[in-house]
Amino acid sequence: MERLQKVIAHAGFASRRKAEELIKEGHVRVNGKTVKELGVKVSSSDRVEVNGIPVEREEPVYFLLYKPRGVISSVTDDKGRKVVTDFFQQIEQRIYPVGRLDFDTSGLLLLTNDGEFANLLMHPKNEIEKVYVAKVKGIPSREKMRSLEKGVRLEDGKTAPAKTKVLSIDKKKQTAIIELTIHEGRNRQVRRMLEAIGHPVIKLKRERYGFLTLQGLKAGEARELTAHEVKQLRTLSKS
């Protein structure tokens, strides 16, 4: 379900603010009934009209991008930096990222124009596993790794238990490579968790999202999700 004004704006009828005005002024009908409230949500099966003209919705599309470092997880950037949609110049639909990866974080990122699908995946109750590989300063002790597994206290509350694995250590450089599996999606969460145990991140990559991986892709490359993968993600988020 998506907010009515968002559906109207996404279809190109007007800006989000103008769409809100159209609704309040009685120019919008849903399934033949005039709607003047801004809180109304509609599904893909609802018929929406603006001044009697049907709102044609874009065909939903779903992509998996191997986001490189130094790219913003957004559709625009006021500082002129590269954004993830720059890798989809050939796509007619107005897609946007599902969640985000930090500017300096690389890895798996989903993009779509299906708001209902995006909201489903990002909802806090849907515990989809996300696997990160981090290179950190120092070599964490077993005790510190265990604290990640129990959950660490951050400024916005304690994290849910994580799964951890030390993949390798470099005693000479005093660095380690750690695999961390979480299902939450807080801002800069993995970096903050590792800072909290005294091992700041040097390099970070998201390797997996649910059952999806980066197999076959290089940084900056993308592929369309199959219908089966989309169905699996919907099932995973509802299970």
Residues classed as catalytic = 102
How many CA atoms are closer than 13 Å to the CA of 81, on its beta-carbon side? 12
DSSP run (H or E) holding 209: strand 201-209
How many CA atoms are closer than 13 Å to the CA of 193, on its beta-carbon side? 31
Which residues, at least 6 apart from 156, have a Cβ–Cβ distance to it below 8 Å? Answer: 186
The C-alpha atoms of residue 236 and residue 139 are separated, in whole angstroms, by 35
> Is 148 strand, coil or helix?
helix
